[in-house]
A and B are shown apart, each in its own frame.
Chain A
Amino acid sequence: MDSSTSLVSIQDLHKSFDQTPILKGVSFSIEEGDLVSVIGPSGCGKSTMLRCINGLETLDSGVISAAGACISRMPGAKLDAHFEKNAHILRQRVGMVFQQFNLFPHRTLLQNTMMAPVIVRGIPREDAEKTGRALLEKVGLGAHADRYPANLSGGQQQRAAIARALAMQPKVMLYDEPTSALDPELVDEVLHVMKALDAEGMTQIVVTHEMRFARDASDYIIYMEGGHIVEISDEDEIFENPKDERTRRFLRRFI
């Protein structure tokens, strides 16, 4: 593995909740500009892995590096302030989009995009506003910049959440089942935004159940099951000719 070209690299990641192992040694790396879909049955650990990548969850052991920031933990080592400090740096370079959007309901869309740049980066409000408006324009919400989240559809909220994450100028974007909470007719508008970002060269990791999107848009696909990565394959290959029996069994339901 050539770490000089990989933007995200994960080595031997272990994570358990209350002594129940969720991730049992996950390793992979992603190069700049790739769009990677992570698929697998519920409970396979794909969401947990994603949350580990931007430090929202602590690790039991392993190394995660992304965009020049790195968190690591030796097996049995204590979590210290150093870990949280590195996780904090990591989070500023990695954007995250949640299944439930998690927009700040007491703020307008524009204020949602401005908050973190102003507070965390100390960017002047005028600049943050300019950037925020441009990003909302980009995700097709320019006309709604001054509205509150509660007054928008799920698809609009998720696009706003993407704009909010982009406002921090992340090097990597993570999506945790970004369309699962949406009505079917609203799914495409969100996927469309992600494809557009891919075209611009954004590095993206998407945990998803949207097999059509995974196949159409991904550079490659990671299949996880039982806390392991079972297969990393080219998007066409995995659907037409899965190498592993478990992948085959999982995908049969979608074809």
Chain B
Amino acid sequence: MKKITLLLLLALAVILQPSAQAESKTLRWAAATDSNAPYAFYGPGNKLTGFEYEVIQAVAREMGREPVFVPNDWDGLIPGLGRGLYDCVICGIEVTPDKAQEVLFTNPYYVTYEQFVVKKGTEPVTSLEQLKGKPVGTLSQTASFNMLSKTPRVIVKTYDEEVNAYADVVNGRLFGVLLDYPIAKYYAFANPNLKFTGPPFGQISYGIAIAKGNSALATEMNAALARVIASGEMRDILSRWGLWTAMVADTFGQPEDSSLPDTEYRAFVASTAEQPSLLNRIIGYARFWPLLLEASLLTIEVSLLGMAGAVLLGFTLAIMRVYGPFPMRWLATLYIELIRGTPLLIQLLILFYGLPNIGIKLEPFVAGVLGLALNYAAYEAENYRAGLLAIPKGQMEAARALGMTQRQGLVHVVIPQSFRLVLPPVTNDFISLLKDSSLVSMVTLVDLTGAYKQIATQTFDYFGAGLLVAAFYLLIGLPFVRLARYTEQRLNPGAHSTSTKGSRFQLPFGKS
């Protein structure tokens, strides 16, 4: 899935116009919000940190620019460049000929290799050929994935999160994991159940990605990068993060030993070593309250606006389909079939990353709301159509016999009655829209699902974070279910059959 969307997005990005205007004083840089240590990640206190974070700060300073962080989803990183959402991406992206066709790379800011990790007690691995017939894990869209897929008869398993891959080695699902050295160092080296084995496999370079055609920025960044390396600052940064290796020293032409103790690495290992108690974990989540609250609000906003749009458009489509003349009926049917026949995720991605191709750039929030509204309108239209058709023909006849036009009959007689009929299915749709709104995290919005990714990658507690966010979705949905029940009862004349008092409740459509 991830692979397919990335390919699609890369394809979309090919023709995108880079917005080259360097807003002089700032350097807008992007990294994936769910990327992990030691790259650019959210450390304790929800603060951005990581060696890439430090590198980009140093580079920006050398350029005389103010660094501004723009979070994005991993799959959207490269297309976002084309959209001009930011100037550059620094996110452990390996320089490969394939990618160099899509973007411009600076000179490498780090070089490394693939490290093989197995369970403690396994025979040493000296070459990839030894992995024949064995399940080996890696991350999708990485150099190690390419390396493994070129090795005959290895069973390659791809993961979204490195911790999950290493966990599967420990519990025996995988023979081993092949990943970039920094990842192996941070997530496997300190684990007593795992061990490093074999020689360094391959050589990979990380480069900062810039929109194709923006060579002015590339030149400027390369110069800044060279100064950061020459001054020894790069060596300091990488040493503190425990990433100063012989290979790096050789590439940069500097001494092989670290210039500073690996304090950042030790701090990270210490923070992950102890398993906090359940109570402590729950208390630990307290610091995410502001994030969760903000994310919940965004989820609610996107869902409510999306639903409002879906109801309006869906209603129009239903009227077109039931009462419209031939071409309108046909158009409405086409729209409904088209939308229902394609995945919401793809629709969202086309809206956000595809439309800039034809000059329409939507804000992430607008794209998210619009995507949900356009998609759910198709389902709403079918609900309303069923509701309209369920009203006996005699109702419209009676209205017309009383001198009403078809329009008046619809507005005052048919629609108010079908409103009551469609309320239950529409409520269900809203609940499912609320859950589908999680897809807007794909267009850079930090909704509840976006928050989940952030929390999970900081705490490595996928279970707890998952439950927590699921509970939030449930809590948000619940009041709407209750509200719908209540309205349904109020709108049903039979429900207060014994009352002889007139209902003071006005249907939203009627005004008679």
- Inter-subunit contact B401/A91 (CB<8 Å): yes
- Inter-subunit contact B402/A106 (CB<8 Å): no
CB distance from A111 to the nearest CB of B (A): 7
CB distance from B239 to the nearest CB of A (A): 76
In the bound complex, residues from chain A placing their C-beta under 8 Å from that of B21 are none
In the bound complex, residues from chain B placing their C-beta under 8 Å from that of A23 are none
Query: With the chains together, A156 CA to B7 CA distance in Å?
Result: 69
- Inter-subunit contact B402/A165 (CB<8 Å): yes
- Inter-subunit contact B397/A56 (CB<8 Å): yes
- Inter-subunit contact A151/B401 (CB<8 Å): no
- Inter-subunit contact A56/B403 (CB<8 Å): no
- Inter-subunit contact A96/B497 (CB<8 Å): no
- Inter-subunit contact A168/B397 (CB<8 Å): no
CB distance from A119 to the nearest CB of B (A): 5
Task: Decide if A102 is an interface residue (CB 8 Å cutoff).
Answer: yes
Task: Decide if A108 is an interface residue (CB 8 Å cutoff).
Answer: yes
Those of B259-285 within 8 Å (CB) of chain A: none
Given A98-B397, A104-B413, A105-B493, check contact A115 B402 (CB 8 Å). Answer: yes
Query: With the chains together, A111 CA to B404 CA distance in Å?
Result: 15
Query: With the chains together, A120 CA to B512 CA distance in Å?
Result: 11
- Inter-subunit contact B501/A146 (CB<8 Å): yes
Task: Decide if B5 is an interface residue (CB 8 Å cutoff).
Answer: no
In the bound complex, residues from chain A placing their C-beta under 8 Å from that of B494 are 148, 150
- Inter-subunit contact B403/A106 (CB<8 Å): no
- Inter-subunit contact A102/B408 (CB<8 Å): no
- Inter-subunit contact A115/B512 (CB<8 Å): yes
Query: With the chains together, A54 CA to B399 CA distance in Å?
Result: 12
Name the residue on B nearest A109 (C-beta).
B502
Task: Decide if A221 is an interface residue (CB 8 Å cutoff).
Answer: no
Query: With the chains together, A140 CA to B233 CA distance in Å?
Result: 98
In the bound complex, residues from chain B placing their C-beta under 8 Å from that of A98 are 394, 397-398, 401
In the bound complex, residues from chain A placing their C-beta under 8 Å from that of B401 are 54, 56, 91, 95-96, 98, 165
Task: Decide if A63 is an interface residue (CB 8 Å cutoff).
Answer: no
Given pairs A91-B401, A102-B395, A108-B502, 5 additional interface contacts (CB within 8 A): A91-B400, A106-B510, A120-B404, A121-B403, A161-B398
Query: With the chains together, A161 CA to B398 CA distance in Å?
Result: 9
- Inter-subunit contact B408/A120 (CB<8 Å): yes
Given A96-B401, A106-B420, check contact A148 B497 (CB 8 Å). Answer: yes
In the bound complex, residues from chain A placing their C-beta under 8 Å from that of B392 are 100, 102
Task: Decide if B67 is an interface residue (CB 8 Å cutoff).
Answer: no
Q: Which of A107, A110, A116, A147 meets B402, CB within 8 Å?
A: A116
Mark interface residues in B409-423 (1 if CB within 8 Å of A CB, else 0). 000110011001000
Q: Which of B399, B497, B512 meets A151, CB within 8 Å?
A: B497
Mark interface residues in A165-198 (1 if CB within 8 Å of B CB, else 0). 1001000000000000000000000000000000
Task: Decide if B405 is an interface residue (CB 8 Å cutoff).
Answer: yes
Name the residue on B nearest A128 (C-beta).
B512
Given A106-B507, A148-B497, check contact A120 B403 (CB 8 Å). Answer: yes
Mark interface residues in A60-102 (1 if CB within 8 Å of B CB, else 0). 0000000000000000000000000000100110011010101
Task: Decide if B503 is an interface residue (CB 8 Å cutoff).
Answer: yes
* Residue with the greatest number of chain A CB neighbours at <10 A, chosen from B398, B400, B420, B503: B398
CB distance from A195 to the nearest CB of B (A): 22
- Inter-subunit contact B408/A119 (CB<8 Å): yes
Query: With the chains together, A100 CA to B398 CA distance in Å?
Result: 10
- Inter-subunit contact B408/A106 (CB<8 Å): no
Task: Decide if B500 is an interface residue (CB 8 Å cutoff).
Answer: yes
Given A104-B413, A114-B512, A146-B502, check contact A92 B403 (CB 8 Å). Answer: yes
In the bound complex, residues from chain A placing their C-beta under 8 Å from that of B500 are 146-147
CB distance from A169 to the nearest CB of B (A): 11
Q: Which of B394, B404, B493 meets A106, CB within 8 Å?
A: B493
In the bound complex, residues from chain B placing their C-beta under 8 Å from that of A116 are 399, 402-404
Task: Decide if A15 is an interface residue (CB 8 Å cutoff).
Answer: no
Name the residue on B nearest A96 (C-beta).
B401
Name the residue on A nearest B408 (C-beta).
A119
CB distance from B168 to the nearest CB of A (A): 59
